[in-house]
Amino acid sequence: MKRSLPGVAGRALLLFLVPLLAACAEEYPQSTINPQSDFAAIIHSLYVSIFWWTMLILAVVWVALAWVLVKYRRKSENDQPKQIRGHLGLEIGWTVGPALIVVAIVIPTIQAVFATQRPISEDALLVEVTGHRFWWEFHYPEYGVTTANEIRLPVDRPVSLRLESADVIHSFWVPVLGGKRDLNPVPAVREGRDKKYNWLYFTPEVTGVFMGQCAEFCGESHALMAKRAIVETEAEFEAWIASWFASEGAAAPEPPEPADAEPGDALPEEVAEARPAGQDEDPRIAQGRELFMNSTCIACHAVQGTSAQGAIAPNLTLFGTRRTLASGIMENNEDNLVRWIIDPQGIKPAAAMPGVDYPGGNWPATNFSEEEVRAISAYLLSLK
Amino acid sequence: MSSVGTVTPDVHHTSHEEDTGLWSWITTVDHKRIAIMYFVTATVFFFVGGFEALLIRIQLMNPEQNLISPELYNQLFTMHGTTMIFLVAMPMAVAFFNYVVPLQIGARDVAFPRLNALSYWIFLFGGIYLNASFFVGAAPNASWVGYATLTLPEFSPGRNVDFWFIGLSILGVASIVGGVNFITTIINMRAPGMKMMRMPLFTWMTLVTSFLLITAIPVIGVALVFLGFDRLFGTVFFNPAGGGDPVLWQHLFWIFGHPEVYILILPAFGVISDVIPAFSKKPLFGYPIVVYAGILIGFIGWGVWSHHMFTVGLGPIADSFFVAATMIIAIPTGVKIFNWIATMWGGSLQFTTAMLFCVGLVAVFTVGGLSGIMHASAPVNLQQHDSYFVVAHFHYVIVGGAMMGLWAGLYYWFPKVCGRYLDETLGKWHFWTTMIGFNLTFFPMHFSGLFGMPRRIFTYSADLNVDIYNQLSTVGAFIFGLSAIIMTWNLIRSWRSGEPAPANPWGAPHLEWSIPSPPHHYNFPGIPEVRSREPLWDPKERADIEAVTMAEPEREPIMPNPSWVPICLAAAITLAWALVMTGVWWIIILGMLPVLFFTFLWAFEPAFPEGH
């Protein structure tokens, strides 16, 4: 900062410059200028080059304007300025000059457009992303694993996200990993034709937990449709996959072939009945499991290796390992979970999950007491 | 006041024996009165939209606040956008078209005076209809772009979206009617010698804008009708479950939506292309280039719509085309900016409030144009789209461009409208509170956007660490609000007791300054002949013109009859559209009968007094 600047103005300017310099810091977990993937890096370098071109143009316009305003302010009522009507050379100059800058911007832009819209490699990790009001479903066909709201990715392995929406348009956006892409409800197609999905391709380059959220207005709780991307080492990722199948104990099957990897198909229901409870299990967990498995919860939710195989709400397998709750809007702990189960709409308006006073229809009614909700929470948090 | 245009002050013109009662305003077909009604109505809606903006800013001042429910917030931001575009920026520009264009081309009225009145009344009723939705708790809540499938009945079962698509359909009628009227007026009703390439830039840009209106509005009309059928009659234009495509809506919306941006900005470009020369004592630099640049912007504006859709997944070839087309449009826009600066270069600049707003426009609109170049680059767009960075961008363009230009026009033409100056001291307060409030509100949004704050959210996580930018924006918004109050106070005070202004208070060169302020209701006692682009700057030509325009006519020119049919037809059209909401076909058909009835009355009503 120049000292000549008045204190207030100086500090105001600092306020704007410091964040730009410190943008790499973890202070801005959803920053668009802190690239941690190849995709984000391409965008960022393009942004930086365009930024300087625009600053150049801005400087020219502002300096010329300031010069004119100071130099040609009216000195006397009788000023008789020369009546100049135009100048062909100047007109050509300020048409061709900007046109050249445009070319300098368009060429790398189009290169980046093509570079970022093709699959990176054959063995990319495919994740099928489905947007729901107001949560995210992540399905890994390669492993037959389904999870929600926290996408796990191994570092340095290319990723292909196949994007689709189950209802309205959403947009997948984890800025640190790259730009956004809409999740469209894909129109039905005639037999034999391929549905047209949207895709995102990138390779995460740094491990960490990155924030993201829905970037296309999707209704009442659009603001509360966040997510996390957890980029971890290959070993951690493989361990997570393995524990997904082992989560409820001994009955873990081998991962099915990708081809028949539909959620719910993974396991015959009898397995759940056969499962023994853990040795020194908290009695609340057993109570919670009992309540959960015998209520409406399982109409929509699935837990791997149990009779809960609902496929229209977030898959709760390994729920206890999730960092956040209700699509990334609050910390995953027992108190928050209890609040959420009792009154989801109080936290997230228009959320689809019914609260505890849900009458149930053909399913057993919930009507849980708070004690019972605490037991269910304990059970869900024990799913690790 | 100036050395060029010293004409005897002629404030209280005696032949101005017009009726001034309420009925005379309801039945008026005088373009000047219609302009005033447009302006006042748009200003009222400006306060409505501004109030919504302040509520939004209060809610967003701190993270994770719950002062406003998500549902109400969604209604507020939807109506803020819809109001500011369709009920403020567009009709405010139309107010200027109405007042200024006939005077600039030497016409006594527009080509279709009753249609002009019809336009206004449809706009008024459409605006009231849209806002009435608040009183039944069902204001539109699906954002101003109303993307399917969110707007389909499955996801928006309430009446909110019905109010929106019907309201916009009503307003669209007003715009198309207005566009037809101004094209006809400008092409056919110019004074002798007023060749196309002698027209003032504001008239030129009105012409270009009018063409955009009559071509772009029908596209959204089609989209809205599709949506209405999907909502009320079970068609599946946008419903993927039935083979429809929600992306179709986005194409139709933006094929309208992008020309709409130029509908908003070109009038402002026209205003400042007239105002800057007047206060620089120099003709517009590169007049033909500025005209062609305006036409080119209007034309290329048709080929760039998908730059609003880079995240939709159109594929790299489509993306590349729209990148290039969009970048190209920056060139004529830049040419205009350079020509304005060149006009001032070597001039004798007088910093009236009108001129300050022009300078302000050049300074801040450039910022909006340049951030536009950033997200015209498709990959960069993938980060900035639907973030606060874009919110900053389009407010810099629409407020820093369109509105600043119109405020420049307000201070410039106000003396013509009522024969009194707008107060310059209050005007400077208005300008500086606008500049400070506007920049403080919107500049920090670039940063909240770069740090990942999406738009259209009723709250944001404290983890994003964007509190400080939001707090600055909120403070700025209140300063900006204050500027609107200062402007209104200035308008009221100056209307009543401002300093009297002569016919040509600024020494400006165009025809509207050759007649008394305020003008006769028939504008021109005789129609002058024009010999150059700046007729009043040539002493001989000015003398010849003023011999005609300042004369007392022997007999008052015959003007069109006042008529109460336009307001009735407008009410009938609004009613017919409103009844569409019932979704019952025979009610809808019955609802059209009054439209037919008043159309017949219209056809058989004599437009001019008996015997003419």
Instruction: Clarify whether residues A207 and A254 are in a common domain.
Output: no
Backbone dihedral angles phi then psi of residue A231, each to the nearest 5 degrees = -95, 120
Reported as a single tens digit per residue, the pLDDT across A134-159 is 999 999 999 999 999 999 999 999 99
Give me the helices (H) in B377-466, please: 378-384, 388-397, 404-418, 424-450
Q: Which of B258, B255, B250, B265 is nearest to B208 (CA)?
A: B265
How does strand A125-132 pair with strand A159-165? parallel
Torsion of CA B30, B31, B33, B35, to 10 degrees: 170
The verdict on A216 touching B (C-beta cutoff 8 Å) is: yes
Q: Are residues A159 and A257 in the same domain?
A: no
Q: Are residues A310 and A333 in the same domain?
A: yes
Average pLDDT over residues B458-481: 96
A90 touches chain B (CB under 8 A): yes
Band of residue A11 on the pLDDT scale cut at 50, 70, 90: low
Residue A12 lies in a domain: no
Asked if B150 lies within 8 A of A218 by C-beta distance, the reply is yes
A210 close to A166: Cβ distance less than 8 angstroms: no
The verdict on residue A10 lying in a domain is no
Chain A contacts in chain B segment 385-404 (CB below 8 A): 385-387, 389
Q: Taking Cα atoms as reference points, which of B31, B11, B35, B37 lies closest to residue B515?
A: B11
State the Cα–Cα distance between residues A332 and B136, nearest whole angstrom.
39
Asked if pLDDT for residue B17 goes beyond 90, the answer is no
Q: Give contacts of A102 with chain B, Cβ < 8 Å.
A: 327-328, 330-331
* CA–CA min distance B417, chain A (Å): 25
**Position A264 pLDDT exceeds 50:** no
* pLDDT for position B16: 43
Q: Quick one: pLDDT at residue B382? A: 97
* A281 confidence band (pLDDT: 50, 70, 90): confident
pLDDT for A257 equals 47
The whole-number pLDDT of residue A251 equals 43
Both A236 and A308 in a single domain?
Answer: no
Is the same domain home to A257 and A287?
Answer: yes
Provide the residue range defining the domain that includes A331: 250-381
- Judge: A179–B379 Cβ closer than 8 Å, yes or no: yes
* Whether A179 and B311 lie within 8 Å, measured CB to CB: yes
Assign B609 a pLDDT band (cuts: 50, 70, 90): confident
Question: In angstroms, how far is the first alpha carbon of chain B from the final one?
Answer: 42
Residues A119 and A241 in one domain: yes
Q: What share of chain A is helix, strand, coil (3-state, %, to 5)?
A: 40, 15, 45
Asked, for residue A23, whether it belongs to a domain, the answer is yes
Residue A25, pLDDT score: 54
pLDDT at A249: 46
- pLDDT tens digits for B306-325? 999 999 999 999 999 999 99
Mean pLDDT for B423-442 is 97
* Residue A282: predicted pLDDT: 82
Q: Residues B509-549: pLDDT tens digits?
A: 999 999 999 999 999 999 999 999 999 999 999 999 999 99
A300: CB partners within 8 A, 6+ apart: A310, A311, A312, A313, A352, A353
Residue B592 has pLDDT above 80, yes or no: yes
Residues A210, A141 share a domain: yes
* pLDDT bracket for residue B507 (50, 70, 90): very high
Query: Does residue A374 sit in the same domain as residue A231?
Result: no
Region B41-66: mean pLDDT is 97
Q: What is the mean pLDDT of chain B?
A: 94
Q: How confident is the model at residue A4 (pLDDT cuts 50, 70, 90)?
A: very low
Answer yes or no: do A217 and B456 touch at CB < 8 A.
yes
Residue A75 within any structural domain of the chain: no
B450/A31 Cβ within 8 A: yes
What's the total number of domains in chain A? 2
The residues, any chain, with a CB within 8 Å of residue B298's CB and separated by 6 or more, are: B208, B209, B211, B212, B259, B262, B266
For the cut 90, the answer to whether the pLDDT of residue B371 exceeds it is: yes
**What's residue A104's pLDDT?**
96
The answer to whether position A11 is within a domain reads: no
| Residue B552 near residue B572 (C-beta atoms within 8 A) | no
The residue among A230, A246, A262 that closes a domain is: A246
How far apart CA A229 and CA B421 sit, in angstroms, is 61
Can you name the residues that pair with A199 across neighbouring β-strands?
A162
Check CB contact of B461 with chain A, cutoff 8 Å: yes
Residue A3's pLDDT band, with cuts at 50, 70 and 90, is very low
Residues B283, B509 contacting (CB under 8 angstroms): yes
**Is the domain of A55 the same as that of A165?**
yes
Q: Does A169 touch chain B (CB under 8 A)?
A: yes
- Closest-CA residue to A138 (of A177, A80, A100, A183): A183
CB contact (8 A) between residue A113 and residue B320: yes
Q: In angstroms, what separates the C-alpha of A26 from chain B's closest C-alpha?
A: 10
Q: Do B380 and A50 touch (CB under 8 A)?
A: yes
- Same domain, yes or no, for A212 and A285? no
pLDDT in tens, B107-159: 999 999 999 999 999 999 999 999 999 999 999 999 999 999 999 999 999 99
Where residue A340 sits, what CATH number does that domain have? 2.60.40.420
Q: Is A257 found in the same domain as A170?
A: no
Listed in sequence order, the residues at least 6 apart from B90 whose beta carbon sits closer than 8 Å to its beta carbon are B175, B263, B264
- All domains of chain B, ordered by start, with CATH? 22-604 (1.20.210.10)
Q: Do both A42 and A143 map to the same domain?
A: yes
Min Cα separation B377/chain A (Å):
6
Whether A78 is in a domain gets the answer: no
B458 near A CB under 8 A: yes
Distance CA(B306)–CA(B318), nearest Å, equals 8
Grade residue A267 by pLDDT with cuts at 50, 70 and 90. very low
* pLDDT score of A26: 67
Mutate to test the interface with B, among A17, A110, A191, A330 (most CBs of B within 10 A): A110
Residue A8 banded pLDDT, cuts 50, 70, 90: low
What is Dmax (Cα atoms) for chain A? 101
Least confident of A1-15, A161-175, A256-270, B156-170: A256-270
Given CB atoms, is A69 within the 8 Å cutoff of chain B?
yes
Amino acid at B172: G
pLDDT in tens, B227-247: 999 999 999 999 998 889 999
Determine if residue A306 is left, alpha or beta; phi over 0 gives left, psi from -120 to 50 gives alpha, anything else beta: beta
Residue A83 lies in a domain: no
What would the pLDDT profile of A283-311 be if each residue is shown by its tens digit?
899 999 999 998 888 989 999 989 999 99
- Report angle CA B119, B121, B125 to the nearest 5 degrees: 120
| A44/A48 Cα distance (integer angstroms) | 6
Residue B248 distance to chain A (closest CA, Å):
11
Residue of A nearest to B145 (CA): A217
